[in-house]
Amino acid sequence: MLVGIVTSRNARPIIERVLEEARRAPDLERVDTIIIELPIPAIGHLTTEAIAVLLERNPTLLNAKGRRPDILLVPGTCKGSTRIIEEKTGIPTFKASNNPGFLVEVLKALLRGEKLSREKSFEEPAREDLQPATERVAFEILGVPVPARGPPLLLTVEIPPEIGVDSVEDYYSRITGEGAQIVVLGSASFNGMDETLRKAKLLSEQAGTSRIPLICELPTPRLARQLSGFCDGFSVSTPIVNSLIEEGFELKDKVFIVGDKDTNKLASALELLREAGTTRLIADPVVGLPLIDMSSTVDRYREASKLGVPLLFSAANITEELAADTHGVHALLASLAVELGASLYLVVESRYYSRHSTSEAREAIRLASSAYAKGTTPLEPWSRLLVVKEYARPVGVEIRRGDYELFTGGLKPIMDKGYFIVEVDYENGLLGVKYYENNRLKGAWAAGDALTLMRLVLRNTNVSLEHAGYLGYELHKAELALRLGKTYTQDSEVIVPPWWNSHGRNGRG
């Protein structure tokens, strides 16, 4: 089988290094490859239609080895279906990976007879693995089946009490858009009762339309009757259960999430609710705080698994109390939740550094549940939780001293008469540039990405090449800061890893 790897002039050296590795792999001996270099500098953002036109105009590219390839592979980043390339060339064409480093995996998949996609990159179908089917449903909340024991895990997200009435609908839309399957409305203890009611009323309308269950946190039994018309259930501690029973509230049509570290108290509270006619019950044995009782968490969940109800696993006590990137923390906690048989995984985004934990937890749950179903550990090259580092050593080219003028120090800038101020608007997702000459504003431009903004500025100013290069450098840093949610400061670094000082500026090793 001859596989043609369609690439560009600049990407060719990287592809050559990857194929060198492929040739050394014993299970790829039956694959012969040919690099088809298009007469362009870059290919990643081309459409498949453009690639088809280029191949049609340069037919000799497909006969470099005296015979035509049996299969063509194009980068996964190319937009459009590869069917148009097949129509022009007559050769079956598929999308490879977004990352050229995974090309070896693509070739192995071909040998195994796996079907590649004409529409999606090699990584995407892997990310679409479904969670294992629910073996036994405990009950439903607004049509959402709750497993008696996970996986699957239902992604449950709490709206913190500090989110105001004016912004609660936008917050709800964001977390449900990022994958929340159940929403918990947090409530400040004994305060803000009117505000909690107003928020519950607003959200119940959205929850009813989108069919996403709304659970209201109940810090005091006095709120139960007022909230009852807006919520599908309540999140309570065991003392609140006792008060609700004593005051004779009608409870049987509601879902209850009951939390307590003491499994004996949990058992008693659940029994009281059953006696009151409530059948849809969830236990929260409480994930412990780091350095206080986190190590007791496993024992509590193993005891609580004997209670015969679905378990909620809350990541909040860990993610909110560790000054660490939350995507890695969720990767570990979701695996633990799956192993302990939890049915719901709760996320809270109270601190800025835990923002977008909903999306991170969704990926962590997918990763852990998929691995559980396959009987493996969650070691997956396509994990989107590898935000800073990569699964394997990155693929690059060797820069040889004899081929380049190598500078080991910095160069002083050559200044011209103007200067730029680069700014980031995190709320609206925009980058901005202001251009000054002689301390007078000459123009200001904004866009959602660095490349567009750089083009805008350079087409409307007359700056030196060196100054234009500086602008591109700073705009890329600003866009990186925007994507990662980090503060951008002009002329300062955006990412400073722990190993920076040990290995120097290039972070080698």
**How many residues are recorded in the chain?**
509
Identify residue 387 by its one-letter amino acid code: V
Q: What angle do CA 118, 123, 127 make, to 5 degrees?
A: 110
pLDDT value for 507? 47
Task: Please list the residues that pair with 255 across neighbouring strands.
Answer: 233
257-282: string of b/e by CB count within 10 Å (b at 16+)?
A: bbbbbebebbbebbebbeebebebbb
**Cα four-point dihedral sign 77, 78, 83, 86:** negative
477-494: string of b/e by CB count within 10 Å (b at 16+)?
A: bbbebbeeebebeeeeeb
Q: Burial level of 175, CB count in 10 A (0-12/13-18/19+)?
A: buried
Identify residue 115 by its one-letter amino acid code: K
Q: What is the DSSP string of 287-346?
A: PPPTTTTGGGHHHHHHHHGGGSS-BEEE-HHHHTTS-S-HHHHHHHHHHHHHHTT-SEEE
Cα separation, 235 vs 216, whole angstroms: 6
pLDDT value for 192? 66
pLDDT value for 266? 97
Peptide bond into 152 cis (omega under 30): yes
CB 235 within 8 A of CB 257: yes
Cα–Cα nearest to 277, from 305, 254, 297: 254
In angstroms and rounded to an integer, the radius of gyration of the C-alpha atoms of the chain is: 28
Q: What angle do CA 207, 209, 211 make, to 5 degrees?
A: 60
pLDDT value for 189? 64
- Structural domains in the chain? 2-126 (3.40.50), 145-374 (3.20.20.20), 407-503 (no CATH)
Task: Please list the residues that pair with 345 across neighbouring strands.
Answer: 155, 313
| Residue ranges for the chain with pLDDT beneath 70 | 65, 126-133, 189-192, 207-210, 501-509
The model carries a pTM of 0.86
Cα separation, 92 vs 87, whole angstroms: 9
- Half-sphere CA count of 467, side-chain side, radius 13 A: 16
Centre a 10 Å sphere on the Cβ of residue 414 and count the other Cβ atoms it contains: 9
Q: What are phi and psi of 236, to 5 degrees?
A: -140, 160
pLDDT value for 191? 58
Coil, strand or helix at 335: helix
The encoded tokens of residue 5 equal 């790897």
pLDDT digits (tens, 9 = 90+) for 428-448: 999 999 999 999 999 999 999
Cα separation, 501 vs 507, whole angstroms: 8
